[in-house]
Amino acid sequence: MRKIPSIAAAFLAAAMYSAFAYPASAQVAQGQAVQGKVRLGGGASADVTAGKPAEGAAYLEIALPAGPQKLDGLGDQFLPLLSGGRKTTLVTADLDGDGTDEIVVRGQVSPSASAILVFRWNAEQKQFLPVDFINDQQDKKPFLFADNNSHVSVAKGGIEIKVTRTDQSGRTAVIAEKYRWDSDSIKYTEDH
């Protein structure tokens, strides 16, 4: 079984991320798994499983034609994403329009923060590799932080994060941040 090194070390930065604490919902419970299919191109496909063992971190396992690939250390558990009008913890969709699917998950990395991860099929290496996100500060990372209470939607071409913020006067506003596919990464485009 091929493994990509745990990206949990990268999530240590989550402790530095300032966010409000909110309860999470619709999570993959311990010992449960969500399954889906991912298109690899050329008519090939593979089964993909997002799971959470009773002990340890959340993981993805992809049953590739050349042998299974396991991506582990993806957070304490998976949080929900919205795709096609429904909540799910695993999204397989062609975000870049090349005819192969990307895999999108959202792993909880602290009581208040989650990391959105996108994995793209690399035909040369015959495995899925993380896609970089470029935020509004032009920082490039293989994940995108979001508050656990935010609503994360996956649609063709990108990801939208909606979060409710409260200012010092007590007024609330819903802010939507949009990230779109840009060459070989997913880049911040706007918020409103």
pLDDT-derived band at 12, boundaries 50, 70, 90: very low
Q: How far apart are CA 180 and CA 187, in angstroms?
A: 5
Q: Are 107 and 75 in contact (CB under 8 A)?
A: yes
Calculate the alpha carbon distances from 37 to 15, 65, 93, 126, 130 in Å. 33, 13, 10, 16, 18
Q: What does the pLDDT look like over 73-132, one tens digit per residue?
A: 999 999 999 999 999 999 999 999 999 999 999 999 999 999 999 999 999 999 999 999
- For 8, the domain range is 2-191
Confidence check: pLDDT of 154 > 90? yes
3-state secondary structure 121-144: EECCCCEEEECEEECCCCCEECCE
**Bridge-partner residues for 68, per DSSP?**
63
Closest CA to 83 of 103, 100, 112: 103
- Give the position of tokens 């999470």: 24
Q: What is the pLDDT of residue 157?
A: 81
What domain count does the chain have?
A: 1
Confidence check: pLDDT of 29 > 70? no
Q: How far apart are CA 34 and CA 21, in angstroms?
A: 26
Please name the helix (run of DSSP H) or strand (run of DSSP E) that holds residue 40, with its range, or none: strand 33-41
